[in-house]
Amino acid sequence: MLVNLQEVLSYAEKNQWAIGAFNTPNLECIMAVLQNAESYQVPVIIAHAQAHERVMPLETIGPIMVLCAKKSRVPVCVHLDHGESPDYIEKALELGFTSVMYDGSKLSFDENVENTRRAVKLSRKFKAGIEAEIGVMASSSVSSEGANGTAGIYTDPEVAKKFVELTGIDALAASFGTVHGIYTEKPRLDFQRIEKIKELTGTPLVMHGGSGLSDDDYITAIKKGVRKINYYTYMSRAAALASKELLNRHDGVMFHDVALEAMKAMKEDTRRAMKVFYSIS
Ligand code: 13P
């Protein structure tokens, strides 16, 4: 069933989970994630990033995401990830998305506040949830999102408090050591910072750059207040590596074989992540 961000976050708060927010630029990703969520009977978020417009237009995949969410046997929130322009955000809401992220993290504080407030107003008109970001998330050199090599600027807890008070958002994306893309060295997360941000804002926190971390890092981040984990790179990489192996194994492999193999690999990868996010034994 299709639900909004506030609803999935309330499950997260009640159960001390982080809801998995998986980017789904194609049907195989959507199916892999929803099949897992149904088999574990947990709420989930499927997301389309504005940066994936070149992979799949929002107008094509958006209605499919909404339809799959409506048909699902578990609560599914359909989210726009890293929306940068008001038009794009409005388009997602008109397509039936139940959550949007406005990303003004590279703007000045005042501009970010002003644009986020507009996005909050718009999302309320559609009864959708809204996430925004303060501090800048870094991207590794192997990332499908953001400018490569962008240096991260960690979120200042006091600034985060002011940002949340001025905007009234439902969830806050904070930068504390994760990066979008493949980790080239072991990440060292600033858990004290995340704890302080949670304490000062009282708002559910979002971890971007959430794939490729250890189980211990996920567990600690969830304990400190992370309630939504954005996940894509490592599931996509798992699909690519499984496809390569299949192509090397046989001649005469068809594209539908590759798509199935890729979906199987994404299902395995996201299943492992979900077990930790929802503390499933
Ligand atoms: P990863 O690149 O770690 O999968 O992060 C995805 C993400 O944060 C989407 O917003």
170 catalytic? Reply is no
Q: What is the pTM of this model?
A: 0.96
CA atoms within 13 A on the CB side of 248: 6
Q: What is the 3-state secondary structure (H, E, C) of 167-236?
A: HCCCEEEECCCCEECCCCCCCCCCHHHHHHHHHHHCCCEEECCCCCCCHHHHHHHHHHCEEEEEECHHHH
**Pocket lining for ligand 1, CB < 6 angstroms:** 23, 49, 81-82, 143, 145, 180-181, 208-212, 230-233
Please check whether residue 32 lies inside any domain of the structure: yes
Tens of pLDDT, residues 162-194: 999 999 999 999 999 999 999 998 998 999 999
Q: Is residue 245 part of a domain?
A: no
Neighbours of 50 (CB within 10 A): 18
CA of 211 to the centre of ligand 1 (A): 6
For residue 141, the CA-to-ligand 1 centroid distance in Å is 13
d(CA 224, CA 176): 12
pLDDT at residue 153 in the model: 87
Where b means 16+ CB within 10 Å and e means fewer, 191-221 reads bebbbbbbebbebbbbbbbbbbbeeebbebb
Answer yes or no: is 28 within a domain: yes
For the CA of 178, the nearest atom of ligand 1: 3
- Domain holding 155: CATH number? 3.20.20.70
Please report the sign of the dihedral spanned by the C-alpha atoms of residue 281, residue 213, residue 177, residue 110: negative
pLDDT at 230: 98
Residue 88 domain boundaries: 2-232
Low-confidence ranges of the chain (pLDDT < 50): 148
Catalytic-role residue among 81, 156, 170, 217: 81
| 156 located within any domain | yes
Among protein residues, the one whose CA lies closest to atom 1 of ligand 1? 209
C-alpha to C-alpha distances, 120 to 21, 226, 262, nearest whole angstrom? 20, 21, 37
Extract the tokens encoding 66: 């909404």
Asked whether residue 273 is domain-assigned, the answer is no
Would you state the pLDDT for residue 128? 98
Question: Distance between CA atoms of 239 and 262, rounded to whole angstroms?
Answer: 4
For ligand 1, what atom is nearest to the CA of residue 23? 9
- Residue 180 CA, closest ligand 1 atom number: 2
Total structural domains within the chain: 1
The single residue listed with the structure tokens 């980790």 is 183
Does a structural domain hold residue 172?
yes
The residue whose CA is least distant from atom 3 of ligand 1 is 209
User: Using an 8 Å Cβ cutoff, are 88 and 16 in contact?
Assistant: no
210 alpha carbon – ligand 1 mean position (Å): 5
Q: Examine residue 94 and state whether it is found in any structural domain, yes or no.
A: yes
124 lies in a domain? yes
Phi, psi angle pair for 174, to nearest 5°? -120, 145
